[in-house]
Structure 1
Amino acid sequence: MDTQQSVSTDADGQEICDSGALTERGLGQRFRVDWYGEEREAFAVRFGGKVYAYLNSCAHIPIELDYQPGDFFDLSHNFLVCATHGAYYAPESGLCLGGPCPGRRLESVPVAERAGKIYWLSPATGQDGWPD
């Protein structure tokens, strides 16, 4: 699986990958976003049947979480983990549950799953989550 994607734009937002590329608690999909005028690294994972996405930056010190590209889950596959600092996060909220930054959060990136694709919804989207 390609673990670094640039997103392509269409009427539904910017495509990250096919839905099948994200397996439950499996490897994540890395992608780049224009985050308020700054190009940033982000990632998407599937947990509990839903897709969640965050900027790829530890809440403790801004370093990418994955040691191997796309490998965001701990060994139990229950938590996202920073391979450098050992901080672990709830996949569904990004809340740091332990390690050097308890109570802080990963920065959430808005995504949606529609018609077999996963899309990043840029900050310029409308209230319903889809581009105006």
Structure 2
Amino acid sequence: MDEPTAPATARPEPLPLCASGELVEKGNAFVFDVLHFREPARAFVLRFDGQIVAYLNRCLHVPTEMDWQYGEFLDSGKEFIMCSIHGAVYEPLTGRCAGGPCGRGKLTVIEVIERDGQVYWYPSRDTQPAFA
């Protein structure tokens, strides 16, 4: 007799974040609230080299929000995501530490997609919408 198979885990539906036009190349990020491991947190999405990327707003060095001012994550040369607290820098397209006190780590990626003039994000097992 065959063993019953577990149902395939369906990918969650993407949730709308913002209009594509709100993300200017190397400009301010769109910041949004999430629950990370059931704790309130913030995440951000920005456009860099024509791509949209999103990360949990939490530095690897010290788990604190990184933006200089609300939505401002890039360094003055607009080359890296830079933590405003201790200067850890991250590669915008990968989230990998590029220098400073973040070691060999990587920012927590939030999966995003852009289609039909809208930016969406995919909740994950660890990162869920902040609203019910």
Unaligned runs of 5+ in 2: 1-11, 126-132
Q: What amino acid sits opposite 1:112 in the alignment?
A: I
SS of residue in 2 equivalent to 1:40: strand
The structure that has the greater radius of gyration is 2
Unaligned runs of 5+ in 1: 1-10, 125-132
- Count of aligned pairs: 114
Percent identity for Structure 1 against Structure 2:
41
The aligned residue for residue 27 of structure 1 is 28
Q: TM-score, normalised by structure 2?
A: 0.81
User: 88-97 or 31-40: which moved more?
Assistant: 31-40
Q: Deviations over 1:82-126 (max 9, x none)?
A: 0111000000010111111131111001111011010111126xx
After superposing on structure 2, the runs of 4+ consecutive aligned residues of structure 1 that deviate more than 6 Å are none
After superposition, the CA RMSD in angstroms is 1.5
The aligned residue for residue 124 of structure 2 is 123
Q: What amino acid sits opposite 1:60 in the alignment?
A: H
The aligned residue for residue 41 of structure 1 is 42
Bigger relative contact order, structure 1 or 2 (CA pairs below 8 A, ≥6 apart): 2
The aligned residue for residue 99 of structure 1 is 100
Q: What amino acid sits opposite 1:57 in the alignment?
A: R
